[in-house]
Chain A
Amino acid sequence: MNVLVKIGFVSLLAMLLSAGVLAQDVEKEQWQQQMNEWTAKRNDLNNKLTALRAEVEALKNQEAEKIAAVKQCEEELLAMVGATAADVSAFEAVLQKIDDKLGELSRLSNQDLWNRRGELDEVQNWIADAKKNKLSVIPRYYDRLADFQTRLDALRNTLKQYSDSGMDMMTYTVGTWAKDRDCLWNIARKKRIYDNAFLWPKIYQGNRNLIKNADVIEPGWVLKIPKKAPLTSEEKSAERSYWRNKGN
Protein backbone atom coordinates (compact mmCIF):
# COMPACT_ATOMS: atom_id res chain seq x y z
CA MET A 1 0.00 0.00 0.00
CA ASN A 2 2.90 2.29 0.83
CA VAL A 3 4.23 1.75 -2.68
CA LEU A 4 0.88 2.64 -4.17
CA VAL A 5 0.80 5.91 -2.20
CA LYS A 6 4.24 6.84 -3.47
CA ILE A 7 3.28 6.09 -7.07
CA GLY A 8 0.17 8.17 -6.61
CA PHE A 9 2.14 11.18 -5.36
CA VAL A 10 4.66 10.97 -8.18
CA SER A 11 1.86 10.80 -10.75
CA LEU A 12 0.10 13.73 -9.16
CA LEU A 13 3.27 15.77 -9.19
CA ALA A 14 3.88 14.93 -12.87
CA MET A 15 0.37 15.92 -13.84
CA LEU A 16 0.51 19.16 -11.92
CA LEU A 17 3.81 20.03 -13.57
CA SER A 18 2.51 19.25 -17.04
CA ALA A 19 -0.61 21.28 -16.35
CA GLY A 20 1.58 24.21 -15.27
CA VAL A 21 3.65 24.07 -18.49
CA LEU A 22 0.58 23.95 -20.68
CA ALA A 23 -0.88 26.89 -18.84
CA GLN A 24 1.81 29.07 -20.49
CA ASP A 25 0.58 28.10 -23.96
CA VAL A 26 -2.21 29.73 -25.93
CA GLU A 27 -5.60 28.45 -25.24
CA LYS A 28 -7.55 27.22 -28.19
CA GLU A 29 -10.13 29.96 -28.00
CA GLN A 30 -7.46 32.64 -27.81
CA TRP A 31 -5.60 31.05 -30.71
CA GLN A 32 -8.74 31.06 -32.81
CA GLN A 33 -9.33 34.70 -32.02
CA GLN A 34 -5.78 35.58 -33.08
CA MET A 35 -6.07 33.48 -36.19
CA ASN A 36 -9.23 35.36 -37.12
CA GLU A 37 -7.61 38.75 -36.51
CA TRP A 38 -4.48 37.96 -38.49
CA THR A 39 -6.45 36.36 -41.29
CA ALA A 40 -8.59 39.48 -41.58
CA LYS A 41 -5.43 41.56 -41.62
CA ARG A 42 -3.96 39.36 -44.35
CA ASN A 43 -7.12 39.65 -46.41
CA ASP A 44 -7.10 43.44 -46.09
CA LEU A 45 -3.46 43.55 -47.12
CA ASN A 46 -4.15 41.23 -49.99
CA ASN A 47 -6.83 43.57 -51.30
CA LYS A 48 -4.57 46.56 -50.77
CA LEU A 49 -1.70 44.84 -52.58
CA THR A 50 -3.87 43.92 -55.53
CA ALA A 51 -5.05 47.52 -55.85
CA LEU A 52 -1.51 48.90 -55.40
CA ARG A 53 -0.03 46.54 -57.98
CA ALA A 54 -2.64 47.66 -60.49
CA GLU A 55 -1.99 51.32 -59.68
CA VAL A 56 1.77 50.94 -60.03
CA GLU A 57 1.36 49.12 -63.32
CA ALA A 58 -0.89 51.89 -64.63
CA LEU A 59 1.58 54.54 -63.47
CA LYS A 60 4.44 52.71 -65.18
CA ASN A 61 2.51 52.77 -68.44
CA GLN A 62 1.71 56.43 -67.93
CA GLU A 63 5.35 57.22 -67.26
CA ALA A 64 6.42 55.39 -70.40
CA GLU A 65 3.93 57.42 -72.43
CA LYS A 66 5.22 60.67 -70.95
CA ILE A 67 8.83 59.73 -71.67
CA ALA A 68 7.90 58.97 -75.27
CA ALA A 69 6.02 62.27 -75.57
CA VAL A 70 9.00 64.26 -74.24
CA LYS A 71 11.35 62.44 -76.61
CA GLN A 72 9.09 63.16 -79.55
CA CYS A 73 8.82 66.83 -78.58
CA GLU A 74 12.63 67.10 -78.31
CA GLU A 75 13.00 65.55 -81.75
CA GLU A 76 10.48 67.99 -83.19
CA LEU A 77 12.33 70.87 -81.55
CA LEU A 78 15.63 69.79 -83.11
CA ALA A 79 13.90 69.28 -86.46
CA MET A 80 12.68 72.89 -86.32
CA VAL A 81 16.28 74.14 -86.33
CA GLY A 82 17.48 71.37 -88.63
CA ALA A 83 19.86 69.89 -86.07
CA THR A 84 20.73 66.30 -85.32
CA ALA A 85 21.68 64.64 -82.06
CA ALA A 86 25.32 64.79 -83.20
CA ASP A 87 25.02 68.56 -83.72
CA VAL A 88 23.67 68.87 -80.19
CA SER A 89 26.61 66.91 -78.75
CA ALA A 90 29.13 69.02 -80.61
CA PHE A 91 27.41 72.26 -79.60
CA GLU A 92 27.20 71.22 -75.98
CA ALA A 93 30.92 70.46 -76.04
CA VAL A 94 31.59 74.00 -77.27
CA LEU A 95 29.39 75.44 -74.52
CA GLN A 96 31.19 73.34 -71.95
CA LYS A 97 34.54 74.65 -73.21
CA ILE A 98 33.32 78.24 -72.78
CA ASP A 99 31.92 77.43 -69.35
CA ASP A 100 35.19 75.85 -68.24
CA LYS A 101 37.28 78.73 -69.52
CA LEU A 102 35.08 81.32 -67.82
CA GLY A 103 35.26 79.31 -64.61
CA GLU A 104 39.05 79.15 -64.85
CA LEU A 105 39.38 82.89 -65.53
CA SER A 106 37.01 83.83 -62.74
CA ARG A 107 39.14 81.93 -60.23
CA LEU A 108 42.27 83.94 -61.11
CA SER A 109 43.66 86.75 -59.01
CA ASN A 110 43.25 90.18 -60.53
CA GLN A 111 46.93 90.26 -61.44
CA ASP A 112 46.76 86.88 -63.16
CA LEU A 113 43.56 87.87 -64.91
CA TRP A 114 45.29 91.02 -66.12
CA ASN A 115 48.17 88.96 -67.44
CA ARG A 116 45.75 86.68 -69.30
CA ARG A 117 43.34 89.38 -70.40
CA GLY A 118 43.83 88.39 -74.03
CA GLU A 119 41.90 85.20 -73.29
CA LEU A 120 38.77 87.25 -72.63
CA ASP A 121 38.72 88.27 -76.28
CA GLU A 122 39.18 84.64 -77.21
CA VAL A 123 36.15 83.68 -75.12
CA GLN A 124 34.18 86.53 -76.64
CA ASN A 125 34.90 85.07 -80.08
CA TRP A 126 33.79 81.61 -78.95
CA ILE A 127 30.52 83.07 -77.69
CA ALA A 128 30.01 84.98 -80.92
CA ASP A 129 30.61 81.80 -82.95
CA ALA A 130 28.23 79.82 -80.74
CA LYS A 131 25.53 82.44 -81.24
CA LYS A 132 25.79 81.86 -84.98
CA ASN A 133 24.89 78.20 -84.47
CA LYS A 134 21.26 77.40 -85.28
CA LEU A 135 20.92 75.57 -81.97
CA SER A 136 21.46 78.83 -80.10
CA VAL A 137 17.81 79.81 -80.68
CA ILE A 138 16.69 76.98 -78.42
CA PRO A 139 15.94 78.64 -75.06
CA ARG A 140 18.18 76.44 -72.90
CA TYR A 141 21.19 77.25 -75.09
CA TYR A 142 20.12 80.83 -75.67
CA ASP A 143 19.92 81.39 -71.91
CA ARG A 144 23.23 79.68 -71.34
CA LEU A 145 24.96 81.89 -73.89
CA ALA A 146 23.39 84.96 -72.27
CA ASP A 147 24.77 83.76 -68.94
CA PHE A 148 28.25 83.35 -70.48
CA GLN A 149 28.10 86.89 -71.79
CA THR A 150 27.12 88.18 -68.35
CA ARG A 151 30.02 86.33 -66.75
CA LEU A 152 32.44 87.59 -69.39
CA ASP A 153 31.23 91.17 -68.93
CA ALA A 154 31.73 90.79 -65.18
CA LEU A 155 35.33 89.71 -65.78
CA ARG A 156 35.88 92.67 -68.08
CA ASN A 157 34.44 94.94 -65.42
CA THR A 158 36.81 93.46 -62.84
CA LEU A 159 39.73 94.12 -65.19
CA LYS A 160 38.61 97.67 -65.79
CA GLN A 161 38.37 98.38 -62.07
CA TYR A 162 41.79 96.82 -61.60
CA SER A 163 43.24 98.89 -64.40
CA ASP A 164 41.58 102.09 -63.15
CA SER A 165 43.07 101.50 -59.72
CA GLY A 166 46.53 101.50 -61.26
CA MET A 167 47.23 98.08 -59.81
CA ASP A 168 47.80 96.68 -63.26
CA MET A 169 51.08 98.53 -63.49
CA MET A 170 54.03 96.40 -64.50
CA THR A 171 56.94 96.20 -62.08
CA TYR A 172 60.66 95.82 -62.55
CA THR A 173 63.14 94.63 -59.95
CA VAL A 174 66.42 96.50 -60.21
CA GLY A 175 69.46 94.36 -60.77
CA THR A 176 73.11 95.23 -60.18
CA TRP A 177 75.08 97.62 -62.33
CA ALA A 178 77.88 95.11 -62.65
CA LYS A 179 75.68 92.38 -63.98
CA ASP A 180 72.58 94.06 -65.42
CA ARG A 181 73.79 97.56 -66.15
CA ASP A 182 70.55 98.79 -64.61
CA CYS A 183 69.94 102.50 -64.58
CA LEU A 184 66.72 104.34 -65.44
CA TRP A 185 67.93 105.02 -68.99
CA ASN A 186 68.84 101.37 -69.61
CA ILE A 187 65.69 100.05 -67.97
CA ALA A 188 63.48 102.29 -70.13
CA ARG A 189 65.42 101.12 -73.16
CA LYS A 190 64.63 97.47 -72.54
CA LYS A 191 62.33 95.94 -75.14
CA ARG A 192 59.85 94.64 -72.56
CA ILE A 193 59.71 98.00 -70.74
CA TYR A 194 59.40 100.94 -73.19
CA ASP A 195 61.91 100.07 -75.85
CA ASN A 196 62.65 103.78 -75.65
CA ALA A 197 65.35 105.15 -73.35
CA PHE A 198 63.93 108.70 -73.55
CA LEU A 199 60.92 107.61 -71.55
CA TRP A 200 63.08 107.08 -68.41
CA PRO A 201 61.43 110.11 -66.65
CA LYS A 202 58.20 108.08 -66.52
CA ILE A 203 59.91 105.53 -64.27
CA TYR A 204 61.61 108.30 -62.31
CA GLN A 205 58.38 110.22 -61.74
CA GLY A 206 56.39 107.07 -61.04
CA ASN A 207 58.77 106.02 -58.27
CA ARG A 208 59.62 109.28 -56.51
CA ASN A 209 58.92 107.58 -53.18
CA LEU A 210 62.02 105.44 -53.85
CA ILE A 211 64.15 107.44 -56.21
CA LYS A 212 65.52 110.65 -54.79
CA ASN A 213 68.29 110.98 -57.31
CA ALA A 214 67.65 109.69 -60.85
CA ASP A 215 71.25 108.50 -61.06
CA VAL A 216 70.94 106.33 -58.00
CA ILE A 217 68.79 103.24 -57.95
CA GLU A 218 69.47 100.33 -55.64
CA PRO A 219 69.56 96.64 -56.60
CA GLY A 220 66.44 94.89 -55.32
CA TRP A 221 64.14 97.89 -55.59
CA VAL A 222 60.83 97.01 -57.21
CA LEU A 223 60.03 99.87 -59.56
CA LYS A 224 56.54 100.51 -60.88
CA ILE A 225 56.54 100.87 -64.63
CA PRO A 226 53.75 103.22 -65.76
CA LYS A 227 52.05 102.41 -69.04
CA LYS A 228 53.94 103.36 -72.15
CA ALA A 229 52.79 106.77 -73.32
CA PRO A 230 54.32 110.13 -74.25
CA LEU A 231 55.86 112.00 -71.30
CA THR A 232 53.36 114.03 -69.31
CA SER A 233 54.05 117.67 -68.38
CA GLU A 234 55.03 116.52 -64.87
CA GLU A 235 57.46 113.97 -66.25
CA LYS A 236 58.95 116.53 -68.63
CA SER A 237 59.31 118.96 -65.75
CA ALA A 238 61.05 116.27 -63.68
CA GLU A 239 63.39 115.60 -66.58
CA ARG A 240 64.24 119.30 -66.94
CA SER A 241 64.84 119.57 -63.23
CA TYR A 242 67.19 116.58 -63.42
CA TRP A 243 69.24 118.14 -66.21
CA ARG A 244 69.34 121.47 -64.44
CA ASN A 245 70.71 119.81 -61.28
CA LYS A 246 73.15 117.83 -63.40
CA GLY A 247 74.43 121.05 -64.96
CA ASN A 248 75.03 122.73 -61.61
Chain B
Amino acid sequence: MKKSMTLMIGALIMAGLASGCSSNATEEELRQLEELKAEVASMETEVQNLESEKAALQKSIADKDAELKKCNDDKTVVQQRLQGM
Protein backbone atom coordinates (compact mmCIF):
# COMPACT_ATOMS: atom_id res chain seq x y z
CA MET B 1 0.00 0.00 0.00
CA LYS B 2 2.82 2.31 0.89
CA LYS B 3 4.53 1.36 -2.34
CA SER B 4 1.54 2.17 -4.50
CA MET B 5 1.16 5.47 -2.70
CA THR B 6 4.74 6.38 -3.48
CA LEU B 7 4.26 5.34 -7.09
CA MET B 8 1.18 7.48 -7.45
CA ILE B 9 2.81 10.54 -5.93
CA GLY B 10 5.80 10.05 -8.18
CA ALA B 11 3.54 9.80 -11.22
CA LEU B 12 1.71 12.94 -10.20
CA ILE B 13 4.97 14.84 -9.91
CA MET B 14 6.11 13.58 -13.33
CA ALA B 15 2.82 14.53 -14.95
CA GLY B 16 2.96 17.94 -13.32
CA LEU B 17 6.45 18.47 -14.65
CA ALA B 18 5.51 17.23 -18.12
CA SER B 19 2.58 19.57 -18.46
CA GLY B 20 3.86 22.53 -16.51
CA CYS B 21 7.38 22.79 -17.90
CA SER B 22 6.53 22.59 -21.70
CA SER B 23 6.22 26.23 -22.89
CA ASN B 24 3.65 26.05 -25.70
CA ALA B 25 2.33 29.10 -27.52
CA THR B 26 -0.91 30.41 -26.18
CA GLU B 27 -4.10 30.68 -28.19
CA GLU B 28 -3.58 34.40 -28.46
CA GLU B 29 -0.07 33.94 -29.81
CA LEU B 30 -1.22 31.38 -32.34
CA ARG B 31 -3.94 33.76 -33.51
CA GLN B 32 -1.32 36.48 -33.81
CA LEU B 33 0.78 34.22 -36.04
CA GLU B 34 -2.20 33.37 -38.23
CA GLU B 35 -3.05 37.05 -38.60
CA LEU B 36 0.50 37.79 -39.62
CA LYS B 37 0.41 35.05 -42.25
CA ALA B 38 -2.88 36.40 -43.60
CA GLU B 39 -1.44 39.90 -43.73
CA VAL B 40 1.57 38.64 -45.69
CA ALA B 41 -0.68 36.76 -48.12
CA SER B 42 -2.74 39.89 -48.66
CA MET B 43 0.40 41.94 -49.26
CA GLU B 44 1.68 39.38 -51.76
CA THR B 45 -1.57 39.70 -53.69
CA GLU B 46 -1.24 43.47 -53.64
CA VAL B 47 2.33 43.22 -54.92
CA GLN B 48 1.14 41.01 -57.78
CA ASN B 49 -1.62 43.47 -58.66
CA LEU B 50 0.78 46.38 -58.60
CA GLU B 51 3.28 44.49 -60.74
CA SER B 52 0.52 43.86 -63.30
CA GLU B 53 -0.56 47.48 -63.20
CA LYS B 54 3.03 48.58 -63.64
CA ALA B 55 3.50 46.31 -66.67
CA ALA B 56 0.26 47.59 -68.22
CA LEU B 57 1.32 51.19 -67.68
CA GLN B 58 4.74 50.53 -69.19
CA LYS B 59 3.07 49.00 -72.25
CA SER B 60 0.66 51.89 -72.53
CA ILE B 61 3.52 54.38 -72.33
CA ALA B 62 5.44 52.50 -75.02
CA ASP B 63 2.30 52.55 -77.22
CA LYS B 64 1.85 56.26 -76.65
CA ASP B 65 5.50 56.84 -77.53
CA ALA B 66 4.97 54.97 -80.79
CA GLU B 67 1.79 56.98 -81.46
CA LEU B 68 3.60 60.21 -80.79
CA LYS B 69 6.42 59.25 -83.12
CA LYS B 70 3.92 58.28 -85.82
CA CYS B 71 2.07 61.56 -85.36
CA ASN B 72 5.27 63.58 -85.67
CA ASP B 73 6.24 61.61 -88.77
CA ASP B 74 2.76 62.26 -90.18
CA LYS B 75 3.21 65.97 -89.58
CA THR B 76 6.40 65.92 -91.63
CA VAL B 77 4.70 64.02 -94.45
CA VAL B 78 1.68 66.33 -94.42
CA GLN B 79 3.96 69.34 -94.52
CA GLN B 80 5.70 67.93 -97.59
CA ARG B 81 2.43 67.06 -99.30
CA LEU B 82 0.96 70.49 -98.62
CA GLN B 83 4.07 72.13 -100.04
CA GLY B 84 3.79 69.89 -103.08
CA MET B 85 0.17 70.91 -103.74
Residue numbers of A with Cβ under 8 A of B are: 1, 4-5, 8-9, 11-12, 15-16, 18-19, 22-23, 25-31, 34-35, 38-39, 41-42, 45-46, 48-49, 52-53, 55-56, 59-60, 62-63, 66-67, 69-70, 73-74, 76-77, 80-81, 137-140, 142
Task: Determine how close the nearest CB of chain A comes to the CB of B10; give it in whole angstroms.
Answer: 10
- The total number of A-B Cβ pairs within 8 Å is 142
CB distance from A165 to the nearest CB of B (A): 41
| Minimum C-beta distance from B26 to chain A (A) | 9
Closest residue of B by beta carbon distance from A82:
B82
Q: List 30 A-B contacts (CB under 8 A).
A: A1-B5, A12-B8, A16-B18, A19-B19, A25-B30, A26-B30, A27-B23, A27-B25, A29-B23, A31-B29, A38-B33, A42-B43, A45-B44, A45-B47, A48-B47, A52-B51, A55-B54, A59-B57, A62-B61, A66-B60, A70-B68, A70-B71, A73-B68, A73-B71, A77-B78, A80-B82, A137-B77, A137-B81, A137-B85, A140-B74
Residues of A within 8 A of B32 (CB): 35
> Are A137 and B8 closer than 8 Å at their CB atoms?
no
Establish whether residues B36 and A38, one from each chain, have CB atoms under 8 Å apart when the complex forms: yes
B 41-85 to A, binary, CB cutoff 8 A, 1 in contact else 0: 001101100110110011011001101100111110111011001
Option from A1, A28, A63, A138 in Cβ contact (under 8 Å) with B25: A28
* Closest partner residue, chain B, to A14 (CB atom): B15
Q: How far is the CA of A59 from the CA of B65 in the complex (A)?
A: 13
Given A27-B22, A56-B57, A46 and B43 contact (CB-CB distance below 8 Å): yes
List 8 A-B pairs, minimum CB-CB distance, nearest first.
Answer: A15-B15, A66-B64, A8-B8, A31-B25, A73-B71, A59-B57, A45-B43, A28-B23
Is the Cβ of A81 less than 8 Å from the Cβ of B82? yes
A135 nearest CB neighbor, chain B only: B78
Query: Complex: how many Å from CA A45 to CA B44?
Result: 7
CB within 8 Å of A: which of B1-31? Answer: 1, 4-5, 8-9, 11-12, 15-16, 18-19, 22-25, 29-30
Q: Is the CB of A38 within 8 A of B54?
A: no
Per the bound structure, the CA–CA distance linking A76 and B72 in Å amounts to: 10
Chain B residues near A34 (CB-CB < 8 A) = 33
- Chain B interface residue count, Cβ-Cβ cutoff 8 angstroms: 50
Within the complex, which residue of A18, A25, A41, A69 is in contact with B19, where a contact is CB–CB below 8 Å? A18
| A141 shortest CB reach to chain B, Å | 10
How would you classify the secondary structure of chain B's contact residues: helix, strand, loop or mixed?
Answer: helix
Q: Closest Cβ of chain A: how far from B5's Cβ, in Å?
A: 7
C-alpha gap A222/B43 in the complex (Å):
81
Q: Other than A66-B60, A70-B68, give 13 A-B pairs with Cβ distance below 8 A.
A: A1-B5, A5-B5, A12-B8, A16-B18, A27-B24, A29-B23, A31-B30, A42-B39, A56-B50, A59-B57, A77-B74, A77-B78, A137-B82
Question: If the complex has contacts A45-B44, A59-B58, A81-B82, are A8 and B12 also in contact, measured as CB distance less than 8 A?
Answer: yes
